[in-house]
Structure 1
C-alpha cells in the first residue's frame, strides 16, 4: 500500500477519532453540573482509565495519524504548489507536536493531580488549574495552528488542481473556523471539530479513490 492510500485510511481514522471523542465527552465523560472541587476530583478518579484512553486516542494517536497525512499531502502537492505546500507543512508539523504534547501532558497531569489529592488536597485545585490551562493553550482550547494547516493545504490543493475542488472549499471553511477559535467564544472549538469530521472523511475517500499521478 502506497503513502497516499495509507494517508486516506489515516484521514478516515481521524474522522472516527473525532466522532468517538465527541461521543465519550457527551455521555460517559460528561461531568455533571453543580459539582464542588472535591466532587469533580472524585469524578476524575472514577473515570481515570477512560480519561487516559480518551486522551491517548484524541491526542497521541491522532497526532501520529496526522503525521502520515501531513507527509502524504506534502508529497502530493509539492510539485504543483511548492511554496504554499511548504508553508502548510510547517504548520502541520507544528500541529502534530502540539497535539501529542497536549495528550501526554493531559495524562501525566491527571495522574499527578489525583496522587497529590491523596496527600495535599488543598494544593490539588491549583495544580489541576495549571495543567488544564497549559493544555488549553497548547491546543485543547484553540485550534489556530490546525486551522492554518487545513486552510493553507486547501489553498495549495486548489492551486494544484489535485483532489476535488469541493474538498478544498470545505477545507478553507474548516481552516477559517479553526483560526476563529483564537476568539474566546463558546462553541467555536466544537464547530471546528465537527467540520473536521466532514473534511477528514471527504479527504480520506478522495485519497483512496484517486490514482496517484
Structure 2
C-alpha cells in the first residue's frame, strides 16, 4: 500500500476526530452569552480569544490541510477505474479545501479585529462581527454544498470503480446529497451532514488503512504493446 493511501486513511480518521471535538466544544463547553449586551459579549470573546482561535484553527485550517491529503489519496485510488468522475470530484474537493481554510483564517483575523474595535465602539464591532460570521458561514461554516458535491461525486466514482464497500458507497451518496441540501438554511441539515461525516470519515479511513487499492486491469492490446 502506498504512503499516500496510508496518509489519506490517517487524515480521514483525524477529520472524524476534529468533527467530534467541534461538536463537544460547541455543544457542551462553549457557553456564549447570547442574551447579553454587546459589551458583555465582547468581554466574553476577549476572555476566550485564545481558546476560540485554537478551535477555529483546528476545525478549519488543520481540517482543510488534512482534507487536501485525503482528496489527493482518493483521486489516486479511483483514477485508474473511474478517471472522469474522479477528476471532477477532485476539483470540488480542492475547492472545498480552499473554502474551509479561508473560513478559518477569516474567522480568526475577524475575531481579533472586532475585539480591538469593541473597546471604542461595541455596537459597530457587533455589526462587523455579524458580517464576518455571515461570510464564514457562507464559505463553509454553515453551507456544505461544495463538500456535499465532493462526497456525492466521490461516492459515485467509488461505485463505478468498485473500490469501497457498497454500504459505504450508498451512505456517501446520502451524506453528499444532505450536504448539497444545506443550501437551504436549516440547522438540522447541517447537523445531519456533520454527524454523517463523522461516520463516513471514520469508515473511509479504516478501509484506506486496511484495504489496498485494486490494481487496474490492462487490456490484452496494452499488454501486447509492451511485449512487442
TM-score by length of 2: 0.90
Q: Cα RMSD (Å) of the superposition? A: 1.2
Work out the CA distance in 2 between the residues paired with 1:188 and 1:30.
Answer: 23
Counterpart check, 1:20 vs 2:18: no
Cα distance, 1:28 vs. partner? Answer: 2.0
Offset from partner CA, 1:82-120 (integer Å, 9 cap, x none): 111111011000000000000000000000000111123
Residues in 2 aligned to 1:26 and 1:114: alpha-carbon distance in whole angstroms: 23
> Within 2, Cα distance between the matches of 1:115 and 1:32?
19
Does 2:150 correspond to 1:149? Answer: yes
- The residue aligned with 2:114 is 113
Q: Residues 163-202 of structure 1 correspond to what in structure 2 (within 5 A)?
A: 163-202=164-203
Aligned counterpart, 1:50: 51
State how far apart, in whole Å, the 1-side matches of 2:148 and 2:191 are: 13
Deviations 1:143-201 (A, max 9, x none): 00000000100010011000211111111111011011001123211111010000000
Cα offset for 1:33? 4.0
Please say if residues 29 and 47 of structure 1, whose CA atoms lie closer than 8 Å, have aligned partners that are also in contact. Answer: no
Contact 2:42 2:122 in 1 (8 A): no
- Structure 1, unmatched stretches of 5+, are none
Q: Which moved more, 1:177-186 or 1:142-151?
A: 177-186
Q: Establish whether residue 75 from structure 1 lines up as the match of residue 79 from structure 2.
A: no
The whole-number CA distance in structure 2 between the counterparts of 1:92 and 1:195 is 17
Counterpart Cα distance in 1 of 2:30 and 2:154: 33
**The structure with more radius of gyration:** 2
Contact 2:5/2:73, CA 8 A, preserved across alignment: yes
Change (3 A) 1:5 1:21: same
Runs of 4+ aligned structure 1 residues displaced above 3 Å come to none
SS of 1:64 mapped into structure 2: helix
Number of aligned residues: 213
In the alignment, structure 2 segments of 5+ residues that lack a partner are: 215-228
Query: Would the aligned equivalents of 2:8 and 2:73 in 1 still touch at CA under 8 Å?
Result: yes
